[in-house]
Amino acid sequence: MYEKLFSRGRIGNLELKSRIVMPPMGTGMAALNGEASDRIIRYYEERAKAGCGLICTEVTCVDEDWGCAGFYQLHASSMRYAQSLKKLADAVHKYDTKIFLQLHHPGREINSIYQGKGQIVAPSAIPCPVCREMPHELTTAECEGLVNKFVAAAKVAKLAGMDGVELHAAHGYLINQFLSPHTNKRTDKYGGDFFGRMRFIDEIVINIRTQLPGFPVSVRFSADEFLPDGITIEEGVKIARHLESIGVVSLNVSCGTYETGNTIVEPYFRKEMWKKNLAASVKAAVKIPVIAVNTVKYPATAEKLLEEGVCDFVALGRAQLADPEWAKKAKEGNEHLIRKCMGCMFCFKAALSGMPIICNANPLLGLEEIYNEDTLKKDGDGRVIAVIGGGPAGMQAAQVMARRGYRPIIFEKGSELGGQMNIAKLPENKEMLGELVKTLVAQTEDLGIEVRLNTEATIEDIKALNPAGVIVAAGSKPFKLPVPGADRENVCLASDVLLGNVKLENKNIIVVGAGVTGIETAETLALQGNKVTIIEMSANVGEPLYPSLKVYYGKRLAELGVEIKTMTRLFEICDNKIVVRNSATAFRAEIPCDAVVFANGVRSDKAIAEACYANFDKVICVGDVSNPGLIGEALRDANSKAWVF
């Protein structure tokens, strides 16, 4: 199965065990001093063990004065980092996986708070519209000094036993800034025409090849910046040919800059293979291997890209965050057990906050050193564990308990597993959330876990099992705000709309709440031909969405004619209007409407939990009944508590 994906391939003088590449992704898991921590080593090791052919590390700092991308990133700016990097390389090499150290400098796409010498730098004094900070324009001598720093970092990589280096010339970072006419307005030898803009990377590549003969140099670059005056695909092909001519061993094709960020790290409205034309255009123009990202979720998609000749190696980034065993499961024909990336962007939201990356599908991401087969107690001895609720938290907890040797039994009062996820998956573009539901169910079945559907657990039912413990994972439900008129016939819940239990067409509708549920419900109602107004008592819209998703929904709702009123608190619901008050001034106003839809999330219902506490010695609550939140929070809560239960 997937013969091309798991065939051996070559990059330069290296033979790779598969066509799967893990591209660089910032993790925030390196030590504060820039060394490879045990945590980050275990993270990479898990992906190597599963069958990844080549790992390109996260962005690695070459310049501590002006080139730091964060407080917790890898460094290769001096030989003192070689020993910890060697531990990383050795851990990956155990599994016949190759590893490239990605050499990086952010240039203008960062803030000075991270830099040793304060002000950020760039080829030209043009601020990044996202970071909004004026960079110092590098002098010719400073450019030459930075070339030497990249070369010095490559020497550290070789000493550490890395198999090669990848130069980060994509996504609007420093090398990309030299390549692009959008950011390079220089008039010295590092600017001007095409060859002037290429000179900075030319000098880095040629010096590494001269000083480290035979040491592979790969380049990741943006084949299209999607900017009017930036690199186009035609220019990208020209860059690719030029890089091949100076001895680069492979090209890792990406796209975009911070200004066009949702083309780099795609939210869920971007579908698989949407940008395959970029890699295909580059591959048609060069003879060296082409690696490419293409928002791949499924093994069949990766195989198709190879069959069609779009690329030589498939880069799977967030796919391997969501499931470190993506490659192993694909090779064994167990793709139905792969937890697939949902494009929710919470990994990058965490990274932006300065915290280690997290994943809403994979509760173990970044915690591989803590939660692994070596630390999992196998102490169940077939004893029964009653699990009340078959949502994501219930299934995750049951799976951990089954792996520990217990016999979990899930009680689910509904007709299917999934809980609130069966509602959350219904709005437009949320099909990958539905895939997570399928995978959780498949994993539950694969472990042989008993599930009792259409069964609301009672204390008597649980006592009959004589359980070793009880896990409560049920006890949350959508709610209406307690305001006058909330019980009127023209009032319903967002879940009623999304499930199709309430039909609203050609109506003037108020949606209460501008969180994720409110936005998605408003979109659904607008698509059904309704005039929709969202009211939100705070100043925030779309919390806790990633910025690119907030921008997307802002444009989307505007296109659908949805009006959003923030700082607006619902006070009363009447026959054909609502009464609201400004959250800051208490100013009263009336808004005409035909119907009101509450989209205020869920609240815990602890009745069953309290009953269990009163009747059983060992009880834990996980997920929404413990603390209503995101799917990822429920999975992490269930995993950690079940691990030590």
Angle at 601 (CA atoms; ends 598, 602), nearest 5 degrees: 115
What count of other Cβ atoms lies within 10 Å of the Cβ of residue 529?
Answer: 10
Residue 538 confidence (pLDDT) above 90: yes
Contact of 68 with 21, CB cutoff 8 Å = no
SS3 306: helix
476 band by pLDDT with thresholds 50, 70 and 90: confident
Closest alpha carbon to 193 in 171, 203, 178 = 178
Token pair in block for residue 142: 């400073």
- Alpha-carbon gap, residue 238 to 169, rounded angstroms: 14
Over the stretch 195-241, which tens digit does the pLDDT of each residue have? 999 999 999 999 999 999 999 999 999 999 999 999 999 999 999 99
pLDDT at residue 630 in the model: 86
Three-state SS at 288:
coil
pLDDT, mean of residues 164-177: 98
Q: Which tokens is 572 given?
A: 């009363």
- Please tell me the predicted confidence (pLDDT) of residue 169: 98
In this prediction the pTM is 0.94
CB 343 within 8 A of CB 270: yes
Sign of CA dihedral 417, 423, 424, 429: positive
Handedness of CA 119, 120, 126, 132 (dihedral sign): negative
DSSP alpha helices (H): ranges in 468-592? 494-498, 516-527, 547-559
Q: Do 172 and 183 touch, CB atoms closer than 8 A? A: yes
E strand or H helix at 57: none
173 is known as an active-site residue: yes
Strands 98-104 vs 60-61: parallel, antiparallel or unpaired? parallel
Task: Return the amino acid letter for 520.
Answer: E
Q: Give how far the C-alpha of residue 433 lies from the chain's centroid of Cα atoms, to the nearest Å.
A: 13
Cβ partners under 8 Å of residue 322, min gap 6: 339, 340, 341, 342, 359, 361, 362, 365
Tokens of 402: 């089954």
**pLDDT tens digits along 324-333:** 999 999 999 9
- Per DSSP, the residues of 127-157 read --TTT--PPEEPPHHHHHHHHHHHHHHHHHH
Yes or no: say if 254 and 222 are a contact pair by the CB < 8 Å rule: yes
pLDDT reading at 475 higher than 80: no
Average pLDDT in the chain: 96
- Work out the pLDDT band at 348, boundaries 50, 70, 90: confident
- Assess whether pLDDT exceeds 90 at residue 349: no
**How does pLDDT run across 365-413, given as a tens digit for each residue?**
999 999 999 999 999 999 999 999 999 999 999 999 999 999 999 999 9
pLDDT confidence of residue 41: 98
| More confident position, 265 or 180 | 180
Q: How confident is the model at residue 354 (pLDDT cuts 50, 70, 90)?
A: confident
User: Lowest mean pLDDT: which of 180-184, 358-362, 624-628?
Assistant: 624-628
pLDDT at 375: 94
Q: How far apart are CA 326 and CA 215, in angstroms?
A: 29
Catalytic residue among 2, 81, 173, 268: 173
Q: What is the pLDDT of residue 548?
A: 86
* Residue 60 contacts residue 154 (beta carbons within 8 Å): no
Cα distance between residue 620 and residue 77, in whole Å: 48
Residue with structure tokens 């815990």? 604
- Interhelix angle for 194-211 vs 140-159, to 10°? 40
Give me the mean pLDDT over the 572-600 stretch: 95
pLDDT of residue 547: 87
Q: What is the bridge-based pairing of β-strands 577-582 and 568-573?
A: antiparallel
Give yes or no for a contact between 524 and 428, defined as CB atoms under 8 angstroms apart. yes
Residue-level pLDDT at 543: 87
Instruction: Of 443-447, 582-586, 640-644, give the lowest mean pLDDT range.
Output: 582-586
Determine the pLDDT at residue 628.
82
Q: What percent of the chain has pLDDT over 90?
A: 92
Exposed (0-12), middle (13-18) or buried (19+): which is 578, by Cβ within 10 Å?
Answer: buried
The whole-number average pLDDT for the span 272-279 is 97
Percent pLDDT > 70 in the chain is 100
Mark out the alpha helices in 16-126 (DSSP H runs).
38-49, 82-93
pLDDT digits (tens, 9 = 90+) for 118-138: 899 999 999 999 999 999 999
pLDDT in tens, 494-504: 999 999 999 99
Concatenated DSSP letters for 176-227? HHHH-TTT----STTSSSHHHHHHHHHHHHHHHHHHSTT--EEEEEES----
Residue 294 predicted with pLDDT over 80: yes
